[in-house]
Structure 1
Amino acid sequence: MILRLFAAVMLVYAFGFLGFAVSLPQPAADEKTDAVIVLTGGPGRIARGLDVVEQGLAREMFVSGVDPDVTPAEFAAEFDVSRRVMQCCVKLGYLAVDTRSNAGEAAQWLKENEFTSVRLVTTDWHMARSAAEFSETLPPDMLVVKDAVVSHPQLATLYLEYNKLLAAAISQGLPR
């Protein structure tokens, strides 16, 4: 009996992982939002956020999880951001150290600016967990557009992220 239960759990886990791995989200359509949130940590994320602002799909961009040693001038130089865009449209967040704190930091910024819609930019393999963390933190009436940066992750990356997603789901089900 216990062996069958274990086998059933492992089968559900394996099919869940397979579903996760083959259904990674795609970039969003050209839907306008008040702001764009970019989570640091992967190639192409900041460039995608800047594209969104430059195309007029969002008024402002918040970059969550920036290293505290990075100045706005260094950020602008690294990503070729004009002074005008940095001053009007790009805000750097230095408090977040993980996906959960990204959500908290971004939620505070969105609230302070009274935004009602946001585009969430992160890597495709990171989107499910990021969106789950954000849904726990943002107001229920906040429109969130998921805008995944396409990548070609290694199997180990997918495996680790799937397990983090499961852990986050379990954690969200527990009282805090």
Structure 2
Amino acid sequence: MGGFSQRKQRRLFGPFVLSLILICAIWGIGFIAFTNYVPRHIQDGESLTDGIVVLTGGTHRLNTGLALLTDQKAEKLLISGVYRGVDLEQLLSLSKSAPRELECCIDIGHEAFDTRGNAKETMQWIKKTGFKSLRLVTANYHMPRSLLEFSFSLPETHIIAHPVFPEHVKIDQWWRWPGTAELLIGEYNKYILVWLRQELARLTDIEFLK
């Protein structure tokens, strides 16, 4: 009986190990593709859009959005995901180069707490403004997941990616930088979860998944 039990365990263990190896291989191939998808440069920095959306997460993003607005790349700017209690004057104080006359063209959103929330907050802004196109400003490592969320929430809006490049994130030769590798692995796993949630929403039409 003992020998039979051991043989049965081996028969079950073999397919499990093979399945695990296959899953890891698929994950690894997808991760390499993801790292190549992370922007290394701005592909379109000149086209005009109706609006600009900055996802909070650093002064470099904010300064980039304000510079684009100053250069009249769009009519209005939305800063999404601002902490409650922080007003526009405080945000502008973070950017010494932001002229005060820009205040009339800037909206701030306090409702978003994550990237999905940013997309939903922007969707409401788009409905209010009637804009048909926007330039999305966020960190380059965050851009793939942001585009996934924004394209899902705003399927009829033309979105131009405008990544910024944090100095501490070394995308080229990322494997040599443990901090960057850990950051990219985390972003990739989040990207997979967002994709799965969206595909499930498309298949089931469950409202809370949207």
Q: TM-score, normalised by structure 1?
A: 0.92
Which moved further from structure 2: 93-102 or 43-52?
Answer: 43-52
Query: Cα deviation per residue 1:38-88 (whole Å; 9 max; x = unaligned)?
Result: 00013511111111111111111100000112122111111232221012x
Distance in structure 2 (CA, Å) of the matches to 1:126 and 1:43: 15
Secondary structure at 1:161's aligned position in 2? helix
Q: 1:5 is matched with which residue?
A: 19
Query: Cα deviation per residue 1:82-137 (whole Å; 9 max; x = unaligned)?
Result: 221012x1111111111001100011011100101101111111111111111111
Picking from 24, 27, 35, the partner of 2:38 is: 24
Higher relative contact order (CA 8 A, sep 6+): 1
Alignment of 1:133-148 (within 5 A): 133-138=149-154, 140-148=155-163
Unaligned runs of 5+ in 1: none
Which 4+ residue blocks in structure 1 deviate beyond 6 angstroms? none
Q: 2:86 is matched with which residue?
A: 70
Which moved further from structure 2: 70-79 or 89-98?
Answer: 70-79
Distance in structure 2 (CA, Å) of the matches to 1:64 and 1:51: 17
Picking from 56, 71, 75, the partner of 2:72 is: 56
Picking from 141, 146, 154, the partner of 1:125 is: 141
Q: TM-score, normalised by structure 2?
A: 0.78
Unaligned runs of 5+ in 2: 1-14, 171-179
Q: Identical aligned pairs, as a percentage?
A: 32
Contact kept in structure 2, 1:118 and 1:144, CA below 8 Å: yes
Q: CA RMSD in A?
A: 1.4
Count how many residue pairs are aligned between Structure 1 and Structure 2. Answer: 174
Query: Cα deviation per residue 1:124-172 (whole Å; 9 max; x = unaligned)?
Result: 111111111111111x321111111123251111111111001111111
Distance in structure 2 (CA, Å) of the matches to 1:22 and 1:29: 20
Structure having the higher Rg:
2
